[in-house]
Amino acid sequence: MSQKAAAPVNNGPALCLADPDWLYHRLMVTGPAGDLASLRAAARGAGLIPWRLDLDALAEDWFHRLVAPGGSPTERLSVAGARILADRLRAAVERRQAVAASAVGLSQACPFDLHSLVPVPGDILRLGPDDAEAKAWLWTQWGTTVALRHVTEVAPDPAGPAAATVTWTFWSADWSPWRAVAQLAARWPGLQFALSPVYDIA
């Protein structure tokens, strides 16, 4: 990808699958050591999107699904049982979200975090991960609608090129995060970005 790649523009609904197709990628960035150090520092983060979920609405939805007709009578939950289970699910999600939210801005466990580089605005975070507008924002700004997974910074190859280089590998949902990389190329014009999917994984 050229360092002159244009910034993304909004061009319609997100292109994403209900069940994401995870694609393996390699991103190699070459250029001045100072610029690479700046990019590496900016890229580190928690590696997740701190969605602000409507837990009450989720619990109510789970409750109605649990008491919906279907299955044999012996497999159905009572109304009271469905309410208890929905509340327990809500509590579990609330604990998980609290841990995730506390990690953002503090954890640097992920070496290439899209939310650190191109942050999701608060008004989008409040919509939740399943909202069409939220997915459209991620598609427009990142080029993918889910946080990257299994992100690794690859150790330099001693036999590789003499120029300063940083390489990351990761799995991306459905598409390459090309729109986010285009924004990084505009922000660090002295760097060369090469993003490519890897189909032959040993």
pLDDT in tens, 107-139: 888 999 999 999 999 999 989 888 999 999 999
Among candidates 184, 195, 194, 192, which has minimal Cα distance to 30? 192
- The band of 8, judged by pLDDT with boundaries at 50, 70 and 90, is very low
Among candidates 62, 58, 130, which has minimal Cα distance to 94? 58
CA–centroid distance for 8 within its chain = 17
- Residue bearing tokens 């989720």: 58
Using one digit for the tens of pLDDT, what is the confidence trace for 38-89? 999 999 999 989 887 777 777 787 788 888 877 666 567 888 888 888 888 8
- Residue bearing tokens 């598409």: 175
The whole-number pLDDT of residue 200 equals: 78
- The band of 158, judged by pLDDT with boundaries at 50, 70 and 90, is low
User: Side by side, which strands form the sheet with 22-30?
Assistant: 149-154, 165-173, 22-30, 192-197
Give per-residue burial for 151-176: e unless 16+ CB within 10 Å, then b.
Answer: bebeeeeeeeeeebbbbbbbebbbbb
Radius of gyration, CA atoms only, the chain: 20
At 56, list the tokens: 């009450």
pTM of the model: 0.73
Is 182 a residue whose pLDDT tops 80? yes
The average pLDDT across 136-159 equals 90
Among candidates 194, 185, 187, 45, which has minimal Cα distance to 112? 45
User: Is 47 in contact with 113 (CB distance < 8 Å)?
Assistant: yes
At 159, list the tokens: 């036999």
- Return the percentage of the chain with pLDDT > 70, whole number: 83
User: What average pLDDT does the structure give for the chain?
Assistant: 84
Is 160 a residue whose pLDDT tops 90? no
